[in-house]
Amino acid sequence: MTSCMLTGRAIGRARFSRRPLVVAIRQSRRMAFWCATSLSFAGVANAATTNGQPGTAMPSSSSANITNTKQLEEVEVRAITASAITQAPVQSELDATQPQSVIGLDYINNYSAPTADYASIANIAPAVSNISPAGPGLGESKQMTLRGFSDNQYNVSYDGIPFGDTNDFSHHTSSYFPAKMIGEISVDRGPGSASTLGAATFGGTVALRSKDARDTFSFIPTYSVGSYGTSLTHLELDTGRIDSLNGGKLIASVQYNDTDTANTHSPMRRTTGYLKYVQPVGERTEITFLSNYNTIHFNKPDKGKLTQQQIDTLGRNFGLNTDPTSTDCDCYNYQDKNTDMEYLGVRSDLTETWQLDNKLYTYAYTNGSHESAYVGTKSSKTAMGGYYKVNNYRAWGDTFNLAHTDDHGQLRVGGWFEYTSNDRSSVAVDYGRGGAIDIMPGESNPYAPYKYTMNDRLRTTQLYAEYAWQASEALTITPGVKNVAFTRYIDTPYNQGTKLPLKYHQTWRKTLGYLSANYRLGNDWSIYGQAAQGFLAPNLNQFYVPDPRLNRARPQQTMNYQFGTVYKTDRFNADADVFFIDYNHYPLSAVDPVTHDDIYATAKGARMHGVEAEATYYVGSGVSVFANGSLLDARFKRSSLDIPNIPDSTAALGVNYAQGGFFAALAGKYIGAQKVYNGDFNPDEATSVTATSNSGGFWRAALSLGYGQNLTGSFIKSYKLKLQVENLFDARQQVADSVKKGDTYYLVLPGRSWFASVSLAL
C-alpha cells in the first residue's frame, strides 16, 4: 500500500509542477499498474481527470496511459476536504490545450435530478444551452447547443467512442445513458488535437465516461419519486476485487423510470441495464468489457411546439389528449426505441515506453414512431390515418491508439474506423383498419403509401499522428495531422422527396492540421493556445438528390483559433478563453412545424467569435461560490444575419455547501436571447427574411439539499437523502423555435418540479 501511495503522489506532483511528467511516469511505471486501477488520487480529487480520449498537453491525459487513470467509483457518503477544486461544479485542467469544463461524479450524483440525461447535466457549463420541455431527462433535449453549434455539429462520445445518427450526426439525449450510468462529463469546446476522434470535432466534444466498479463489495439501491408522477428505481451491484480472478471486478446496474412528464398525456417508461467488467492480465494489461442497453416507450406530442394561441387555449403543458377523433390523441402519437452499446477494450503497457489502447465496439438504435396523424384515409374520408416511421441502424467500429514516451515527450498514432448501415422508411397507415397500410384497393404501385423507403450506409476512417513535445519543463507543444474520409452510400427504390429510385455513393476526404501549446507559468497557472482545422461530411439531406451528377453537396469546413488560461489553487479555481471560428458551408436544417417536412439550406459561410470563463472561490466552512459565462457573436458572412436558434450568451451563478454529511447548492442558469426566421429564408440574403421572432434571455434556478452518513455495526454501510428542485421560482418561459406563415412556434419550458431520493449502500 505504501508503494501505491508513493506512486500516486509522484504522478500527482508531476501534474501540478514543472517537473516533466514523462520522467515521473517512466520512473513509477513498474510499481504503478495495480495501484492505478484502484487509486482515486485523493490528494487531487476531482482535479486530475481524463475524458476518455487522448490528446491533451502531456501523457497524463492520454487514454493509453493506464498508470494514470482516475477511478470514477460512486460513493454515497464521501469524505473530501472542501476546496475550490473539490467543490467546483465545472473546471478545467492545468494541462489543457483547449477550453473545457469537467463535471465530476459528485456533481452528477448530488446536484442533478435523478432523472437527468447528459444534456441537462452539461447545461451547467459555459457556452452550453439546453431546453427540456418534458422535464429533466424525461424526454429528448431540444436546442442543445455548444458554443453556437447545434446538436449535429459537435461530438458526443462514451469512453472515447463517438456515437450518433448516421443521417445527420445528431444525438438522442434520453435514449442511451441516464445519469446513473455516467461517471464524468467533459465539455470540450474545440476541435481537440489530431487524436480527438469523432465526426464533428470542430464543434467540440461532450465526452461521457462510464462509472467504474468499486474495489470492495457493495449493493446500492436508490429510489426516487417526484413531480409528474415520476418514480425511478436504480439497483447497482459491485463485486469488488475478486482475488480468484486476479483482481477482476464488475459493476452491474439496472434502472426503471416511469413518468407522466410535464406534458399532458405524454408518459414515458424507460428500462436501462449497464454492465462493466475489468480484468487485469499479467502486470501490464487490462481488458474491459462494457454493455449498456436501453428500451424506452413514450407518447410524443406530434406538434412538440405550440403557437401563442395554442398555448393560451390549450395550456402551457399541453402535449396530447385522449380524443380518438383528434390528431393529437395519444393513441396515434407514440414511439418505441431500443438502443445498445458494447465494447471490448484492451489497454496495455507493452513496454516501459510503449502503451496501447484499443476498443472494438458496436452500437445500435431502433426507433418505431407513430406520428403525423391525419383525417381521411384511402378507405374512408372520416377515418384516422397517420405515418409509421422506422429508423434502424447499427454501427461497428474500432478506436486505436499507440503511444510512445521518450525523454522529450510522447508520440501518439492511431485511428478510428466505423461502418454504419441504416434502414429508414415512412409509410401511411389506416387506424380505422387496425393500423393496416393506407393504400387504395387495387393499387399497383407498392410504394404508393410510402413517403420514402431507403437504406443508407456511412463508412468513416480517420488516421492520425501527433507528438506532444516537452520543449522545456514548462512548455509543451503538440503538432498533429489527421486524414479523414467519409463515404456515403444510398440504395432506395423510392427516394425521399423525389419518389424515384436512387443508388450511388460518394466520398469526401481531407487532411487536417493541428497545433497546440501549453505553458506553465507556475505550479498553479498555465496558458494555452490552439489552431486547428475542422471537416464534416454532408448529411443525408444534402446527399439524396435526383441526379448524382448534379450533387453539389459540400462538406463543412472550419478554421478554429483559441487562446486561454487556467489557474487552480485550493482557494480559487478559474479559467477563461477567447475564440474565433471561420466556417465554410454552414448547414441549416429544421422540421416544418406544420407539414413536418425537412427544411434545409446551406450558407456559404459564417463567423463565430466569443469569450468564455468559469470560476469557483472557496469561502470557508464548507461554502464555495461559483460563476461562469460566455458571450457569442455568430453571423452568416454574406448577409450578416444572426445564426438562428443560437443564444448570444450564457451564465451560471451559485453557492455550494458540503460539510458534516450535509450538502446543498443554489444555482441559476441564464440562456441568452436568440432569433428565428421564416423557414424558407436564404442565409446568404438578408432580404429573404420575411418574418422574424426573438426570444429574450431568461434565468432558471435549481435547489439541491441532501444529507448522508456512514454507519458502523450495521448491514447498512451508509445512506443518503436528497431533494432536487428544478425551476425553483416557477418561472414561466418559452423559447421561439421556428416561424411559419407568420406564426411563431414555441418550445414551452416546464414549471417548478421536485424529485426526492433515498439511497443505501449495503
Q: Mark residue 562 as left, alpha or beta (left: phi above 0; alpha: psi -120 to 50; beta: remaining).
A: beta
Euclidean distance between the first and the last CA atom of the chain, given in angstroms as a whole number: 25
Residues 261-294: pLDDT tens digits? Answer: 999 999 999 999 999 999 999 989 999 999 999 9
DSSP state letter for 449:
T
Residues 67-110: pLDDT tens digits? Answer: 456 667 666 566 667 899 999 999 999 999 999 999 999 999 99
> How many CB atoms neighbour CB 199 within 10 A?
25
Superfamily of domain 218-761: TonB-dependent receptor, beta-barrel domain (2.40.170.20)
- How confident is the model at residue 300, as a pLDDT? 85
User: For residues 55 and 465, is the Cβ–Cβ distance under 8 A?
Assistant: no
Work out the pLDDT band at 36, boundaries 50, 70, 90: very low
Record the pTM: 0.89
Q: Say if strands 718-726 and 128-131 run parallel, antiparallel, or are unpaired.
A: unpaired
Residues 472-520: pLDDT tens digits? Answer: 999 999 999 999 999 999 999 998 878 889 888 889 999 999 999 999 9
> How many CB atoms neighbour CB 446 within 10 A?
12
* pLDDT at residue 249 is higher than 60: yes
- The Cα–Cα gap between 7 and 74 comes to 23
User: For residues 481 and 511, is the Cβ–Cβ distance under 8 A?
Assistant: yes
* pLDDT at residue 5 is higher than 50: no
Average pLDDT, the chain: 87
What are the DSSP calls for 315-334, one per residue? Answer: -TT---B--TTSTTBTTT-E
DSSP state letter for 542:
H
Q: What is the percentage of the chain residues whose pLDDT exceeds 90?
A: 73
DSSP state letter for 678:
B
- How confident is the model at residue 599, as a pLDDT? 62
CA 735 vs. chain centroid, Å, equals 22
User: For residues 164 and 151, is the Cβ–Cβ distance under 8 A?
Assistant: no
Would you call 436 helix, strand, or coil by DSSP? strand
Q: Say if strands 184-188 and 205-209 run parallel, antiparallel, or are unpaired.
A: antiparallel
* pLDDT at residue 458 is higher than 60: yes
* pLDDT at residue 303 is higher than 70: no
Work out the pLDDT band at 643, boundaries 50, 70, 90: very high
- The Cα–Cα gap between 692 and 674 comes to 11
Task: Domain ranges for the chain, please list them.
Answer: 218-761
* pLDDT at residue 141 is higher than 70: yes
- Which distant-in-sequence residues (6+ apart) come within 8 Å of 426 by Cβ? 387, 388, 389, 390, 450, 451, 452, 453
Q: Give 527: exposed, middle or buried? Use CB within 10 Å, 0-12, 13-18, 19+.
A: middle
- How confident is the model at residue 68, as a pLDDT? 52
Would you call 406 helix, strand, or coil by DSSP? strand
DSSP state letter for 505:
E
Give the mean pLDDT of 641-650.
Answer: 94
Give the mean pLDDT of 424-431.
Answer: 95
- The Cα–Cα gap between 483 and 554 comes to 17
Residue whose C-alpha cell reads 467546483 in the numeric block: 88
- The Cα–Cα gap between 474 and 391 comes to 51
